[in-house]
Structure 1
Amino acid sequence: MAKKAKPLPSLDWLQPRLSLTRGLSLALFLALLLLLLIWNLAFADLHGARTWVILLVELVPLLILAPGVLLGNARAHAWLCFVVNLYFIKGVLAALDPHRSLLGWSEALISLALFCTALLYVRWRFQYDRKLAGE
């Protein structure tokens, strides 16, 4: 016996949630970029490593997704959910080091919030698109 499909929410219910989660995910995305940039340029003790190499390794995954996130592409937000897990893990590991505790907790909290908002945006965006298509 087939299950009855759960009805999609109305467009009026989805629209404000889409706007809120898109705005929050964009703000948190930029906050994570700025945190990594400022930390590595101003506060990081790189022990002789080249700053541009460290910045390249840390920022390229986010910069690859930046065009899609800025345009509000749901698939880019879905991929962002995968990529941001790396920053969460890095933040938790950095939080265990007393010298990088502030960076670690900041990075972990920002990436956790970014994961949640991007995931909600993806879910509601696909529901919105299905509703617009007449489903």
Structure 2
Amino acid sequence: MRIRDHRAHDEPAIDLVPLIDVILVLIIFFVITTTFDVRSTLQLQLPVASPQEPAPPRTLNILVNADGRYFIGDREVLHSGVEAVKQAIADAAGEDRDQPVMLRADARTPYQAVVTVQDALAQLGFRRIAIATAPEAPGATAEPAP
């Protein structure tokens, strides 16, 4: 003889009320902690003065990433040859060869990629070249080359 229980079976269900409460608390937290752009309500007219010294010359930024890809200004150089890099530098710099150049290369960049940029800069006549480095962490010792 088979005995059946006629009570309703409890189906598992996900209660959404605690989830909604948590989301509401997060929204309130983010709204309160967000900084708002506070604009002054005062209308100011600043005095006019002539500049005392000329504006500093703009710097040409060249970036070489760890893969050896070149970025001149905000544009990527598609080919890695010296001629392509020279053309991109000439386009970005225009006729001004006296402007300073900031060369930023990743520490893992292949050495040839950095030499290619330096060669292109020398062929174009740039002389004010700076290589960006990061300061050494205090207490860190230099690792010997393998």
TM-score (norm 2): 0.19
Higher relative contact order (CA 8 A, sep 6+): 1
Higher percent of residues as helix: 1
Structure having the higher Rg: 2
Higher percent of residues as strand: 2
TM-score (norm 1): 0.20
